[in-house]
Chains A and B, each alone.
Chain A
Amino acid sequence: MASEAVAHASDHHAPPPNVDANVVAKELIASTTNASARFKTIVWILGILGIIGIVSLILKWIDQGDDSTKWGYVASLVSFLLAVCGGAPMVAMAPVMAKANWVRPITRLAAMFSFGSLVTIIMLIPLVALLPPLVYEGTRRRSIWFEAPDYAPHIWSVIGLLLLFITGLMLFYSAAIPDFASMRDHSTGWRQRWGKRLARGWVGTDIQWRTLRMRIGMFGTFYFLILVFVTFLISTDYGQSVIPGSRDAIYPMSLTISSFQGGVAAIVIALYFSRKWMNLEKFVHLDAFWSLSRLLFALTLLWVYFFYSSFIVFWYGRSANDIATLDLLIRGPMVYAFIAGAILIWFIPWWILIWNRVRRGTTAMVVGAFIILIGLMLDRIRYFVSAWSVPQDQIHQKWLKVIPETYFPNVYDILIIIGGISLAAMLIMLVTRVIPVLSVWQVQEFNLLAKPIRYVRGHATLVAKPD
């Protein structure tokens, strides 16, 4: 077993005292039952908005189901939700695999975002129906599906998203079994009954813990591999392949990186509010925010790197195809969304997160995280609305000859976007009523492996790192 001492520069970061295991279990389990009136009100509002969003989706299908150019905002929402709900669980997994202790209390919250992927699947349904087959009007269109059957992109994107959803749920459930046992042991009523059912007779033997670790590692690895793949599928099949002549090898990677960025931003926001409103300060220390902020800062800078790498190829290339692509995606109908998106996803967060003082706190960081999510949505709108606004009868052109007009959102689009995000948020909030938002056993493990110590004249946390 290795260990490391993490020195704390000031009293502000003097390590908080460890919490007894029984206090961790009792208080976190109690957090599932003592929902405040504010929590209930928010859940109700989000639920109503979610229902309105689903109804709007159905009405839009009835009204505009025959015109694919009107579905760009739904495609943007799918990509946004894939980024946030798909990216968040991965962000918590990577540090766990690197044996970072600070992330242990956060992993449950991150895994809960998997439930939001259900909304991604719902929103994808009309897009699958609208996506043209590979052989369209008698000619095979350009895509990554070289010799595949006509509906390969439709089938494999749905399977991919379902696979991501199921793997996310398995990742969540695998790590949640010991906490369901805690619910069985210390909760009451339907929570106790569900805890007993879902704990599957967990008692905490050595073999159970060993296989639990392996399960988390395996599903974490699968999740990463599937997330990257699904992001690639969505960005090519529902983005690039509907733009005549578009070919950008960097865009799928750019989308993946920004999905990690969106995932970290979403975790920061969720952690901030759950910590504050559920009184979890003693379990989630400032160190967690500090570490997340460094991750968020790095990913924010990576966004511009990937964007520029992609942009410069088109800008230097200056072929008719390159010019048409830039005219559609950057200079054209969504130029204002592009500028606003770039400012909000990169420039402003860069100048917020660059300050140590901000990264060591919580309030400015959560503001930065909100700004990133707005920028992420605008960035997705910029790309997917432009892509889908191209009429399908132009799909065989070598490059886009006529740049479509700006397509502004109608009332359906606005309600679907608000409703989709609300529904995902509501699902995540409802899961916190079934199982604690922080993992009981991982908070206990965090306390087991980290001891606050005096280090010469300063403070430090001694962290044990089992091999």
Chain B
Amino acid sequence: MTTSILGLFQQPEPAADAMDGLKEAGFELGTFDVLTGTPYPEGAFGEHVPQHRLFRFPAFGAIIGFTLSIFLTAATQLAYPMVTGGKPILSIFAMLIIMYEMTMLAGVIATVIGIIFESRLPNLKPGVYDTRITEGWIGVVITFDDESKVADAENVLNKAGALEIKHA
């Protein structure tokens, strides 16, 4: 069974010390994280940098939209061939408007879908949490599969100066 504990800090320095302490105590990267109410500069707590693929979604959506738009505009013009102003039936400049709009449309839809997958939202099991985090406090949360390490984590948090430790 997965359990988690949360150490609460008022200042960023001790929270960063706790993160360092957890690394030194042998806790695996990805089993502990920092919770903040405002985005600190990346790497401020020496935290693990998780990989995400959010940027792939709009690119993928835009490619699909662009491809569909070429198909739609070309098929329409080939199905109803009509020479306008002496231009070729398949005129790229005449197709650009629809191509642009469909690319944007598919890009936005794919981004929304990407957010659902990549933002870890909705977070159905938020685990241990404290409402003071949105008031500027900083939380260091550790997740365990093995409860024997809880005491080690508490020691690290206490040593770093956690003002409170909560269990879930």
Do A214 and B54 have beta carbons less than 8 Å apart?
yes
Closest to B41 in A: A466
Question: Looking at the complex, which of A239-247, A321-329, A407-415, A440-448 is the stretch in contact with chain B?
Answer: A440-448
Cross-chain contact A208 with B119 (CB below 8 angstroms): yes
Q: A166-B108, A211-B118 are in contact. Are A147 and B82 (CB under 8 A)?
A: yes
C-beta contact mask, A178-221 vs B, less than 8 Å → 1, else 0?
10011001100000000000001111111111111111001100
* Interfacial residues of chain A within 114-149, with CB under 8 A of chain B in the complex: 140, 144-149
> A1 to B40, alpha carbons, bound, how many Å?
11
Within 8 A of B (CB), among A375-419: none
Given contacts A22-B135, A466-B41, contact A204 B36 (CB under 8 A): yes
Chain B interface residue count, Cβ-Cβ cutoff 8 angstroms:
60
Tell me if A's interface is mostly helix, strand, loop or mixed. helix
B136 touches A200 (CB 8 A): no
A206 touches B41 (CB 8 A): no
Q: A441 contacts B39, CB within 8 Å?
A: yes
Q: Are the CB atoms of B108 and A222 closer together than 8 Å?
A: yes
State whether the Cβ of A20 lies closer than 8 Å to any Cβ in chain B: yes
Residues of B within 8 A of A330 (CB): none
Once the chains bind, are A229 and B101 in contact (CB under 8 Å)? yes
Interface size range of chain A in the complex? 35 or more
- Stretch from A5-13, A62-70, A156-164, A451-459 at the B interface: A156-164
Interchain CA distance A215-B89 in the complex, whole Å: 40
Residue of B nearest to A221 (CB): B58
Q: Which of A29-52 contact B (CB under 8 A)?
A: none
Are A440 and B134 in touch, CB under 8 angstroms?
yes
Q: Mark B32-67, 1 if CB is under 8 A from A, else 0.
A: 011111111110000111101011001000000000
Q: Is the CB of B50 within 8 A of A207?
A: yes
Residue in B33, B42, B98, B134 whose CB lies within 8 Å of A185: B134
- CB of A177 within 8 A of chain B? yes
On whether the beta carbons of B121 and A177 are closer than 8 Å, the reply is yes
Closest A residue to B85 by CB, please name it. A146
> Is A226 an interface residue, CB under 8 A from the partner?
yes
Task: Given contact pairs A20-B136, A210-B50, enumerate 5 new A-B contacts (beta carbons under 8 Å).
Answer: A166-B108, A203-B129, A204-B37, A215-B115, A218-B54
